[in-house]
Amino acid sequence: MLGEIETGTYKQLPKCTFKQFTDIWLRDYKGKYLKLKRSTTSLFKDIIERLLIPAFSDVQISDIGTWHLQAYVTSRATKVSANTVRNELTVIKLIFKYAFKWGYIKGNPTEGVDRPEIPKPEIEVLSPDELEKLVQKAEKPYRTAFLTAFLTGMRAGELWGLKWSDIDWNSKFIHVRRALWKGQFQPPKSKHAIRKIDISDSLIQKLKQWKLTCPISEHALVFPSPEGRLSIHENVVKRHFNPALRRAGLRQVSFHSLRHSNASMRIRAGQNIKYIQTQLGHASISVTMDIYGHLFEDAKFNRQQVELLEQSFRSVRNPLENPLKSEKRKAANG
């Protein structure tokens, strides 16, 4: 500070506690600097109010140093997952980025904070045979939904937010325009998630069949609840997806594994990595490779794209048919 006074560059920082600044930041960052999704805003507020304010509340934001933040991160890493800590650190970095930008601090203390390493989770996928069992054991209102998730690789929120107007029957694609999250429509995960997913004649026919019996909903949703209301993902998983897995005698996997399974099948079918990236809605090829790179090493197939991809699924024969009828037909054929 003495050197700054001598050179005439000293500037008094505004007095502002961490809590006072976060109040300002939440208001102005959301309103002026980014069009945040509702889910992101809720997450930010929860992290700030439940965790960061209790930790740094009355401390002057200009007095918070790298070691304070590193101590917070290290402590949290002993209590919650590395991914959760990284989410919290993302919010911390944004707060101090704007504190520096707006002249509340002289340097950014987050630049020296180390993030906890995230171990790569094992990718769980369902085989075509397993998908067939899942769909056959699912309740009728959800059979086409589970099949569509598998054959398109759509994220859960994108699937439940899909409207009939998003399907181009002639050009054979699904236009992902929105996601449904906790009863609220919002933009997809990123600009790259707004995309057109190519679909096959087989899936088109199944969707047309489903449309004939689909519950009428206010928003013309492709997959509303059986009562015609918005589908709540957590309820679908708990009440319909997990029970279908158990009835099918399958291991417990997440709903997101349907997306992983789609990526796996695309790779095994020899689809181009750039095409896979755009179909899945990843921000870059590197994201696709980070998640699924190991699968490319095992891929030994080189087939055409959407139509031939589906031919590798036994389930596409007619996974929505009555399984009892299927068994009777097998018996009749000897």
**Hey, what are 295's tokens?**
């699968």
pTM of the complete model: 0.67
The pLDDT of residue 42: 80
Residue indicated by tokens 């990595």: 273
Distance in angstroms (rounded) separating the CA atoms of residues 291 and 324: 38
In angstroms and rounded to an integer, the radius of gyration of the C-alpha atoms of the chain is: 25
Q: Which H or E element spans position 179?
A: strand 179-181
Nearest-angstrom CA–CA distance, 167 and 59: 53
pLDDT at 4 (0 to 100) = 43
pLDDT tens digit at each of 334 positions of the chain: 434 434 444 456 789 999 999 998 888 776 555 556 667 778 888 999 999 999 998 999 999 999 999 999 999 999 998 989 999 999 999 999 999 999 999 999 999 999 988 777 788 999 989 999 999 999 999 999 999 999 999 999 999 999 999 999 999 999 999 999 888 999 998 899 999 999 999 999 999 999 999 999 999 999 999 999 999 999 999 999 999 999 999 999 999 999 999 999 999 888 999 999 999 999 999 889 888 887 776 655 444 445 555 565 544 455 555 544 444 444 455 4
φ, ψ for residue 215 (rounded to 5)?
-60, 140
CA 225, distance to chain mean position in Å, is 21
Order of strands, sheet of 195-198, starting from the edge strand that comes earlier in the sequence? 167-168, 173-176, 195-198
Instruction: Report the distance separating Cα 204 and Cα 174, nearest Å.
Output: 10
How far apart, in Å, do the first and last CA atoms of the chain sit?
91
Kindly list the structural domains of the chain, giving each domain's residue range(s) and its CATH number in brackets, ordered by start. Answer: 13-112 (1.10.150.130), 128-323 (1.10.443.10)
139 DSSP β-pair partners: none
Cβ-based neighbours of 134, under 8 Å, separated by 6 or more: 126, 146, 244, 245, 248, 250
Q: Is there a contact between 170 and 199 (Cβ–Cβ < 8 Å)? A: no
Assess contact for 113 and 77: CB atoms under 8 A: no
**3-state SS class at 59:** coil
Residues 101, 32: Cα–Cα separation, whole Å: 14
Residue with tokens 């003495």: 2
Q: What is the pLDDT of residue 29?
A: 72
CA angle 256–263–142, rounded 5-degree value:
45
